[in-house]
Amino acid sequence: MVAQGAAWLKQYVPLDGQQALVARCRAIIDGPAGGYVPTVRGGGKMHVRMVCLGRHWNPLTYRYEATRADYDGSPVAPVPEAFAALAARVAQEAGFIFRPDICLINWYGPDGRMGLHQDKDEGSESISAGLPVVSISLGDTARFLFGGVRRRDPVDTLLLESGDAFVFGGPARLRYHGVSRIMPGTAPPALGLEGRFNLTFRQF
């Protein structure tokens, strides 16, 4: 337990499971309506490639939508059942009942990063119930930042490795978090992967 409502499940996904997830993520992010680099409000570009399943997170409106209105208008593919089942099992390990209907796949290259932010664009009932965010790391190790519910609160740095799962919900649901850097060359060789996939699951 990292904090009340937050759990770090190290090496939760075995290597063969990681290989299967990486293959599926590659097929999705490089396939039709695959990954793209979002432009946020203000015109800045994010430092990841992203594809959303279940619902699309629009970086211009900060809302979840049925199509990629900010980019190419493509409809959103559903969350694969195997992905949702994995996220539900992870959440249960941390004490949450969770039925995810959103999965964001982010691809971090060697220069990938994500600034400190809160995940607060889901439905008000989901937020108020403290339903968790479940994260699965695949590939290179990430320096993950986990702060408090205020931006100025102290921030802990955790090294999330391939196969690690991280869950935050309940009183930790609106904690600030981000990724300060990717550590190249740290992925398990069996994955044949340079960079990092991160899957984050939510229940709208």
Identify whether the C-beta of residue 154 lies closer than 8 Å to the C-beta of residue 177: no
pLDDT at 150: 96
On whether residue 34 sits in a domain, the answer given is yes
How much is the pTM?
0.96
Strands (E) across 4-85 are located at 6-9, 49-53, 56-58, 63-65
Which residue matches tokens 């009932």? 125
On whether residue 116 sits in a domain, the answer given is yes
pLDDT at 18: 98
> Residue 9: exposed, middle, or buried by beta-carbon count in 10 A (0-12, 13-18, 19+)?
middle
Rg (CA), the chain: 16
On whether residue 187 sits in a domain, the answer given is yes
pLDDT at 1: 75
Residue 53: beta bridge partners?
Answer: 103
How many domains does the chain contain in total? 1
On whether residue 13 sits in a domain, the answer given is yes
On whether residue 47 sits in a domain, the answer given is yes
- What is the extent of the structural domain holding 54? 6-202
Q: What is the pLDDT along the chain (204 residues), one digit of tens a residue?
A: 789 999 999 999 999 999 999 999 999 999 999 999 999 998 999 999 999 999 999 999 999 999 999 999 999 999 999 999 999 999 999 999 999 999 999 999 999 999 999 999 999 999 999 999 999 999 999 999 999 999 999 999 999 999 999 999 999 999 999 999 999 999 999 999 999 999 999 999
Ramachandran region, residue 180 (left: φ > 0; alpha: ψ -120 to 50; beta: rest): alpha
pLDDT at 5: 96
On whether residue 1 sits in a domain, the answer given is no
CATH of the domain at 73: 2.60.120.590
> Residue 155: exposed, middle, or buried by beta-carbon count in 10 A (0-12, 13-18, 19+)?
middle
Q: How far apart are CA 86 and CA 92, in angstroms?
A: 10
Identify whether the C-beta of residue 179 lies closer than 8 Å to the C-beta of residue 164: no
pLDDT at 196: 98
Q: How far apart are CA 92 and CA 85, in angstroms?
A: 11
